[in-house]
Every structure is written in C-alpha cells, then in structure tokens.
Amino acid sequence: MTSTSDELSAEDKKLVTLARATRARTGAAEGAAVRDSDGRTYAAATVDLPSLQVSALGTCIAMAVASGSAGLEAAVVLTEAAELAAADLAAVRDFAGAGVVLHLGDPRGTIGACSTS
C-alpha cells in the first residue's frame, strides 16, 4: 500500500521528523523512529562499526526493549532501500507481534509505502 506524508497522523509525522533529524545529524545510511505501546518515542540511526552493525530500526527496537517497553504501535524508516529488510520485519514481529504500522520513506522524509507487521 502506498501513502503520502500528508496522509500520516500527527503522531506518525512526529516519527518522520525524528527519523529524519537523527539520520541528518549522524550522516547514517538510515534513520528510524518508533512509538511504543505507551506512547514513548525512540529514534536512531544505522550503527556501522567494524565490530557492530545494527540497522536504524533494529537500534530503535533495542532501545525500546532496554527501556522496558511492552510493544510498538508504529515505526518509520527513512532509507534509500526499496523495502524494509527481512531482519527488521522479523524483529518488529518478534517484539511487537502483528499490527504495527510501518512507514517506509526516502532520506528526505517522503513516505512512499505503509504496511503493517
């Protein structure tokens, strides 16, 4: 399913802003932001070190888990990739189950696709 940034809820637009700012600040390949089931938000960029590689969404999920979150409501990933990585989808499902709204957009923050886990 495709969508535009104008069709996003105010809460999801906030996630786009957080993901975009994080990616721009770090110069990383991806930026992501998630909203947990309590309404808390987490934003992160790709971690690409010689000894550690974690996607932006994977980092957000790890932050939510480490903070004691019980699940996710929504996620935004801003990337050059045409689709979310299988490992990221699996991590969302492992942590939050089905029904999480996933928005995929380009690095400028234009959302091109929306789906659910």
CA nearest to 78, candidates 43, 50, 54, 53: 43
Total of domains in the chain: 1
Contact 103, 76 (CB under 8 A): yes
Contact 56, 45 (CB under 8 A): yes
pLDDT of residue 1: 37
Backbone angles phi, psi at 52, to 5 degrees: -155, 125
**Strands across the sheet with 111-116, in order?**
41-45, 31-36, 72-78, 101-105, 111-116
Percent of the chain with pLDDT over 90: 92
- Condensed to tens digits (0 to 9), the pLDDT of residues 28-79 reads 999 999 999 999 999 999 999 999 999 999 999 999 999 999 999 999 999 9
Taking CA atoms, 73 is separated from 25, 48, 92, in Å, by: 25, 26, 10
Task: Write down the H helix ranges in 1-117.
Answer: 10-26, 56-66, 86-96
pLDDT of residue 5: 53
pTM for this predicted structure: 0.91
Tokens for 62? 């790890």
Opening angle at CA 1, ends 116 and 96, nearest 5: 5
pLDDT of residue 79: 96
Q: How does the average pLDDT of the chain come out, rounded? A: 93
Q: Which domain holds residue 99?
A: 5-116
Q: Does residue 101 surpass a pLDDT of 70?
A: yes
CATH classification of the domain holding 70: 3.40.140.10
Helix count (H) and strand count (E) of the chain? 3, 7
pLDDT of residue 7: 82
